[in-house]
Structure 1
Amino acid sequence: MSNVTAKLKNVVATPLQWAGLVWDFAIMALVAANLTLIVFDSLFAVGPIADAIGSLSPGFRDWYAGTVHENFRMIDLYFVAIFATDVLIGWAVAAWERYYHRWFFYPFVHWYDVLGCIPLAGFRWLRVLRVFALIVRLQRMGLIDVRRWRVYAFFKKYYDILMEELSDRVVVNILDGLQIEVRRGGDLPQRIVRDVFQPRKRHLAAAAGERIDRAVSRTYDANRDEIQAYVGGLVRQAVEDNAAIRRLERVPMLGGYVGRTLEEAIRDAVNSVLDGAVASLGEPEFQDMLEHIADSVLDMLADEEAEADPQLREAVIEVIDLLKEQARVQHWKDIYA
């Protein structure tokens, strides 16, 4: 109770604000009483219910039937008069304090208050919105925190479930339409290449080059000895199969030495080329080459005059299938498990 009082002192500073808050609570109490009376009178109009009330308390039934039920419209008009007065006072205060851009905005913003003053069955229930409006106001003032209420948690749970299910259905229907458009030969694949990939081709090429450099360098460093041994075997086999080198080895005294030296030189040269090729993957020249390749491929795929590649079309359809599968995931089950 002390916490509520402290909050009231912080947010309600002037007598006018206190009077407005008290008036709002009084109106909310009148709305609750009015709606309770409407519900009870509607039930009393049902014969079996009136008879059941009469069996429990004949005196109350006779009093209510003659005093309240017969004069229900007039009693409701008293409530309407109070609610209409509240609307006029609120309008005057809003115009005086310039709450809205124009003075005549008030009845449009508080349309539920205006329509709730109409003494017809369909409009009377709009008066309950006044209660929700006051709750929202108290929430903004920091006097209450509806997020801690069990009823709020209950309705929020099923609201979140409903919104997620509806949004998932909408997303899946939209994606179905996209797939139909792609299958009919729409230009969506070319637009994806042109509007999504082409503006990012430099970054995509850089990312691809970085990953190629990292993957090849890691693999080559871990298996360098095996790779060089394999290359040495290939060089040895090539030297043995080469007729000119075989003739050179037949030269007396120096032939074998020259052949072995030539084989070692070729093996060392090939290994050096491999080392240099792996080391050059991080150089700007390799990035430029990848960018040129990406540029050529993307230009070809985005060519509007040529028919879209069937594989590109199928790839887009499969991507949409993945999006639909993700949209069907019911995340609310994880949240409210």
Structure 2
Amino acid sequence: MNTAAGQAARIGLDVLDCSELRRLVERPWFLRFAFAPEELAHAETLGAHRLLEFLAGRFAAKEAVFKVLGIGFLQGVAPREICVEHTSHGAPIVHLRGRAAQLTPTFVSVSITHKQNVVAAVAIGFPWDAGAQAENGRNKSKEPDAVSPPNTNTTATVQHNAREERAPETSETSQSSQTSESATTETTAFLRVRIGQEEAHYGGDLVDGARILRLFGDLVTEITIRTDGDEGLLSQYTDLRFTAPVKPGDYIEARGRLVRRTRLRRVVELQAHKVLSARPGAGESVAAVLDAPQLVCTATATTVVPHRRTDPQTSLNPTAEET
């Protein structure tokens, strides 16, 4: 395809499964590296499922723009230098910053679509003459949406996302709009604690694994209180793995996510990461922020909650076994 100026337009395409980013978007260093502040601010207003879908769509759009610019991933331009915002009508708009803006005199337009767990993005780059005209025409009728500020509480937070109407990602396809009408409920819990010197249990100042399991127990309890109004009774841990040592002075972030519920049972996926680490070898009070959170433990917990009758005036009638 040629423009009026006689220069060929460039096209970039990327397809991404949302599960490829599920673990990465839980890591603050990756969010700061891959996404612009405006994108992160809007992501903070979304529920957990919609957040992953939104960030995956933005990441696929950045990959498509990289191809339009004629470079690969990690070849001189950070993904956060490509900012994909949206207008009040939902259409995505691209802002090139820093090194990305210096590469070529190109105006870039993108389109993003979703189908179940897969996102796809197409980017087209035009010479500035043609691109500026397209942008001016669009801006007359569409202005960028304002975005909400991010949540500044970094010490502890619990997200309980009830049914949420999904805002249109773009003005792309009818198939995409049908997907956007679905709603998802997900319950998560989060804790961050500092491990004290008094909790060292083994030689070499090692902390016993039971300390992490107590954190997991608190997360499971909070989730069942939020979903059932009851603390529940922890039944078992499965797939329990300790992957790194924990020592006094370390800061541990523990997260729980409800993944399955039956009439009496709730199944919760659990992870604990070390985010700040004590460095006793460098000095008595020396500590450091880890470049990337270090996974120290994972597990799946099953807890049992009593069956409650629908009539609130009737006393509880616990059931011993689940049908």
TM-score (norm 1): 0.17
- Name the structure with the higher helix share: 1
Q: Which one scores higher on RCO, CA 8 angstroms, separation ≥ 6?
A: 1
